[in-house]
């Protein structure tokens, strides 16, 4: 039977990120944070597209893009501009974007 780790050995998620990607503000950590945000945005677009009962191809046609581009965005493999995000969400999906900056 495996032994249970001592609570002293547990780390927070932030500590894990710092150990793996470095402290906030470092180049490696910043690159990780950018990719994580791109992935999150892609997940939101995928969820909203599915709620609208649209295929990637239908969303692409409605917004003048390509299905492969929608796929790359939804998989977090594309760094999209704010204007493209607006077009996908507001024109393509008929939703409204609200931007919140916290700090």
pLDDT at 7: 60
pLDDT at 8: 66
- Provide the whole-model pTM: 0.78
pLDDT at 78: 86
Residues 6+ apart with CB under 8 A from 73: 41, 42, 45, 80, 88
What is the rounded distance in angstroms from the CA atom of residue 6 to the CA atom of residue 4?
6
Residues of the chain with pLDDT under 50: none
pLDDT at 99: 85
Domains and CATH numbers, the chain: 12-92 (1.10.260.40)
pLDDT at 9: 78
Structural contact between residues 26 and 69, judged by C-beta atoms closer than 8 angstroms: no
pLDDT at 5: 56
CA geometry: angle 45, 49, 53, nearest 5 deg = 170
Q: Is 73 helix (H, G, I), strand (E, B) or coil?
A: helix
């Amino acid at each position: 039977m495996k032994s249970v780790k001592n609570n002293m050995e547990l780390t927070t998620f932030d500590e894990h990120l710092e150990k793996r990607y470095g402290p906030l503000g470092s180049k490696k950590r910043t690159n990780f944070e950018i990719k994580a945000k791109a992935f999150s945005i892609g997940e939101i677009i995928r969820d909203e597209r599915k709620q609208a009962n649209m295929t990637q191809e239908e969303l692409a046609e409605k917004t003048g893009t390509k299905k492969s581009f929608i796929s790359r965005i939804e998989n977090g493999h594309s760094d999209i501009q704010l204007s493209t995000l607006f077009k996908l969400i507001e024109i393509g999906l008929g939703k409204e974007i609200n931007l919140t900056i916290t700090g």
